[in-house]
Amino acid sequence: MDYQEFLASLSDPAPPLGANVALRALWYDANERADSALRAAESDDSYSTMRARAYLHRKSGNEYAAQKCYWLCGAPVWTESLESEWEDIARTIMVETIVERAYL
């Protein structure tokens, strides 16, 4: 799945079957299901999921939790718009997935 396919899936009734935890969190967030997004983001401690969790905390206004998540995953604190962070996380996951599959 590429970024455009993921965007197209946002109108589906459920996240794409092949989406990892971080992408599912972003999908739920885009579909205004904040509780499901945070539950998904808290179910894993990978880099991408931790970044998604930081984004979700930042979006909800919990700056302390957001900064903690950025620190835990080693990512710089995002200072640009929430929309640009959402896109950056999704695109980063797409690249990680391509690289991961190349080595399996």
User: Using CA atoms, how far apart are residues 54 and 7, in angstroms rounded to an integer?
Assistant: 21
pLDDT confidence of residue 5: 92
Q: List C-alpha distances in Å: 76 to 60, 67, 81.
A: 18, 9, 14
Q: How confident is the model at residue 18 (pLDDT cuts 50, 70, 90)?
A: confident
**In a domain? residue 64:** yes
Q: What is the pLDDT of residues 67-100, one digit of tens each?
A: 999 999 999 999 999 999 999 999 999 887 777 7
Residue 5 lies in a domain: no
For tokens 């080595």, what's the residue? Answer: 103
Q: What is the pLDDT of residues 19-38, one digit of tens each?
A: 999 999 999 999 999 999 99
11: Cα separation from own chain's centroid = 17
Residue 2 lies in a domain: no
Domain span holding position 90? 18-102
Is the pLDDT at 104 greater than 80, yes or no? Answer: no
Provide the number of structural domains found in the chain: 1
What pLDDT shows up at residue 1? 82
pLDDT band at 2 (very low <50, low <70, confident <90, very high): confident
> What's residue 12's pLDDT?
97
Domain assignment of residue 45, yes or no: yes
pLDDT band at 10 (very low <50, low <70, confident <90, very high): very high
